């Protein structure tokens, strides 16, 4: 069909739940999905590459992009800015490609306001203790950042009922296969 737009899919979860781990598996399984690379002002982690996980930019550069209207949405949390590029999403969905956005919980709700057809997936941890354990085990945050992430997780967990699909990440393999099957359905529905 002509002019068919690609799906917009968001994946959200409190920090440390496992969404990046799951999204990496999804992108391997569905090479046709375009990953929306956000901009951030936080520091690059050891295993990250500029332009792959994020575009790592300065606060000044970020503010210029806000003023230029480059973002669909942006958020400031844990003292860092994060923003989703509008033209990247629009270009890809206009070309019929599905776009996956890994985004915080509030950001996903903003995306739905701009793209009402977006499908919002929420991944949640078995409990807060397990979340703390995973976040500590990842060893990417200092103590202050860790505390901020856990505080924010409590707020984010309270918003989960506003999402289209909820998936628990207890056993990683099970969660990955549930998200794969869900995304398969979303993409095939768009193409039918
Ligand atoms: P997020 O992107 O949600 O912040 P990550 O994908 O970075 O989370 O995962 C946080 C940590 O938890 C990582 O060390 C990851 O290997 C681990 N992890 C992910 N899923 C599980 C799971 N089901 N059980 C145990 N550990 C997990
Ligand atoms: P991290 O620093 O762990 O990579 O990400 C912190 C949080 O920012 C995660 O919940 C992640 O999904 C979210 N995030 C990443 N990119 C964006 C974005 O463009 N906008 C918003 N609002 N959140 C984002």
Residue nearest to atom 14 of ligand 2 (CA): 103
Residue 82 C-alpha to ligand 2 middle, in angstroms?
Answer: 6
pLDDT one-digit tens code per residue, 130-142: 999 999 999 888 8
Position 172 pLDDT exceeds 50:
yes
What does the H/E/C string look like for 7-33? CEEEEECCCCCCHHHHHHHHHHHCCCC
State the pLDDT confidence band at 5, using cuts at 50, 70 and 90: confident
Return the DSSP state at 164.
S
Q: Hey, where are the domains in the chain?
A: 8-191
**Residue 75 CB less than 6 A away from ligand 2:** yes
Q: For 25-47, how does the pLDDT look when each residue is reduced to its tens digit (9 = 90+)? A: 999 999 999 999 999 999 999 99
- Whether 103 is in the pocket of ligand 2, judged by its Cβ within 6 Å, is yes
**Into which CATH architecture does domain 8-191 fall?**
3-Layer(aba) Sandwich (3.40)
Assess whether the C-beta atom of 84 lies below 6 angstroms from ligand 2. yes
């Amino acid at each position: 069909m002509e002019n068919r737009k690609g799906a917009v899919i968001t994946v959200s979860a409190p920090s440390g739940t496992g969404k990046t781990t799951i999204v990496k598996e999804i992108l391997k399984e569905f090479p046709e999905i375009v990953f929306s690379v956000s901009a951030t002002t936080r520091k690059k982690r050891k295993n990250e590459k500029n332009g792959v996980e994020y575009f790592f930019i300065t606060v000044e550069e970020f503010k210029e992009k806000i003023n230029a209207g480059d973002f669909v949405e942006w958020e400031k949390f844990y003292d860092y800015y994060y923003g989703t590029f509008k033209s990247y999403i629009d270009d890809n969905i206009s070309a019929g490609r599905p776009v996956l956005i890994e985004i915080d919980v509030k950001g996903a709700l903003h995306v739905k306001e701009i793209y009402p057809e977006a499908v919002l997936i929420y991944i949640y941890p078995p409990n807060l203790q397990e979340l703390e354990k995973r976040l500590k085990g990842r060893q990417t945050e200092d103590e202050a950042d860790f505390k901020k992430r856990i505080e924010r997780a409590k707020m984010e967990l309270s918003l989960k009922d506003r999402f289209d699909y909820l998936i628990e990440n207890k056993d990683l393999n099970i969660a990955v296969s549930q998200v794969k099957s869900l995304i398969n359905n979303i993409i095939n529905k768009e193409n039918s």
